[in-house]
Amino acid sequence: MADEVFGPYRIGQLLGRGGMGEVHRAHDTVHDRVVALKRLAPALNDDAAFRARFRREAQVVARLREPHVIPIHAYGEIDGRLYLDMRLVEGADLTDVIARGPLEPERAVRIVEQVAGALDAAHADGLVHRDVKPSNVLVAPGDFVYLVDFGIARSASPAATHITASGDVIGTLDYMAPERFENGPVDARADVYALACVLFACLTGRRPFDADGTAAQIWAHLKEAPPRAGALNPAVPAALDHVIARGMAKDPAGRHESAGALAVAARAALAAVPPPGPVAPPATPPARTPTATPVTPPRPTTPPAPVRAPATPATPTGGTPAPRFPPAPRSHHRRAVLGAAAAVVVVLALATYLVLDHTSDLLAGDPGPASTSTTTATTTTTTTTTTTTTKVKLTLPTTTKAAPTPTPAEQALLAALPGVYRGNASCVTARPDAEGVTAKVACTEANEVNERFAPPVLAQFRLFATRAAQDAHFLAVVNARGIPRDDSQGGCRPTTHPVHYSEYWRDTSGPLAGDFTTCYLDGGAGHLWWTDSRTSVTAVLATAPGATEDVLDKLDLWWNGMILSRM
């Protein structure tokens, strides 16, 4: 059977069905990408109230800039039918996750923290979600969570009520706050109640009130005391039950003041739990008898291999040097370090500097030093017959000289850094290292901590004189590695898609010309690049060595939350 065609979309697999319509996997033939397409159900197409509700969802999500709210690409009407084009998120909804059994308390709290972030963003915008429940929480790989279905979101103003013109209550009874059943205003505290119910469901694998029938459910929310998750799951500490009970208080005034406050209280409840069981005192170690003769380490059979400097690449006749990316560090660095058995502390420090030095060169796309100031480290290995001394040049800024006054271009770049780095003392200027680069800055620390994802160990920013130079540099980066372009899935999907680069979206108006991103593993570290066409700045983040695809995926999530969502 041929795929259904809906305007520029080829409709594929059904992903979900809700009160207002269906969500399908679809191929956007105009932008050549796979999306999640939500369409208003045909039976509701002529219902003015549902049409207004559907449009409200599009408008609500379009104006929310929070990592845990799925961004939308477009919305509108095709052949008289309303639709919403969203980023496709691979994963399962929380209902399916819970169906496999109660979650560990730490994981449950981690999920609730992310939902709370999305709710706080909506509440700050004057909106109440009104349908927080497990089936509206999508869990992507790595337990990154999205809150979806803002279709019945309403203003939190006192004039807004929860009853439709027909007198129907909109929402899901299992997670609905008591005030939703009464003729009073509904504000953000109704979402706090529902979030506490979701936390209970995560910890127990069932809804808070296991009553049958609509009337019984409404009565339970209005009259019954909040249930204890610890009675069903012994792993739940009593302190966490207290958090749920406060979140499910019948009187909205008795609840946590915000979704974020509930999440903070839940995290604190976990931190206050002592380790299970008594802690046995450490056993007294037996007395040690000193040996009369020290043990002599075995003599190495061959001296350590010397560290060789990289060869200088030849420049093609009549042109500028092509962008080069040095290979991964070879094992002779490690052999030289391992030979110094009598200087373990010195060797570890040197190894750390070598890793940072290689990462800096790798990100620069140039085998030359990243800075004119250098530090020299010396490692000496001694045996009974030979002595080998190796000097290694490290491209790290010295601390003995005062930093030079930034040039106008460097000042402009420092001012253009993302807020998570702007003004940080670790951000230092470096020598421009590519054609068209007027300034370069490297940072090793961020201004904020993300509770879920570790920051990169290094961030480099380059300011270009022209957009053409910026474009040429980025193309040189991806072409040197044979990275193809694919705008269908976003530029960094290491756990689900082959390495590629793509446009990225700042908001629902679509990508800007020249805005690209990509990520890959190289030299044992993860790298994420993006270009900012508005400022002519290209940036790259790097993880510590030993990165995996999962680590690289988390680096992309850190970038999304700490940088992209704030651009």
For 170-211, the pLDDT digits (tens) are 557 899 999 988 777 788 999 999 999 999 999 999 999 988
460 vs 442: CA distance, rounded Å: 4
Binding-site residue set:
38
| pLDDT for residue 367 is more than 90 | no
Q: What are the angstrom distances between the C-alpha of 245 and each of 180, 194, 262? A: 18, 12, 11
The predicted structure's pLDDT at residue 29: 93
Determine the residue type at 89: V
Alpha-helical (H) ranges within 165-282 are: 189-204, 214-223, 238-247, 259-271
Percentage above 90 pLDDT, the chain: 43
92 vs 90: CA distance, rounded Å: 7
Region 457-466 average pLDDT = 96
Torsion of CA 59, 63, 65, 68, to 10 degrees: -20
Picking from 73-77, 291-295, 404-408, 425-429, which range would have the lowest pLDDT averaged per residue? Answer: 291-295
Percentage above 70 pLDDT, the chain: 71
Residue 72 structure tokens: 């939308």
131 counts as catalytic? yes
Region 328-350 average pLDDT = 36
DSSP reduced 3-state for 507: coil
**From the candidates 131, 149, 357, 532, which is the catalytic residue?**
131
For 79-128, the pLDDT digits (tens) are 989 898 988 888 888 999 999 999 999 999 999 999 999 999 888 888 88
Q: Are 222 and 249 in contact (CB under 8 A)?
A: no
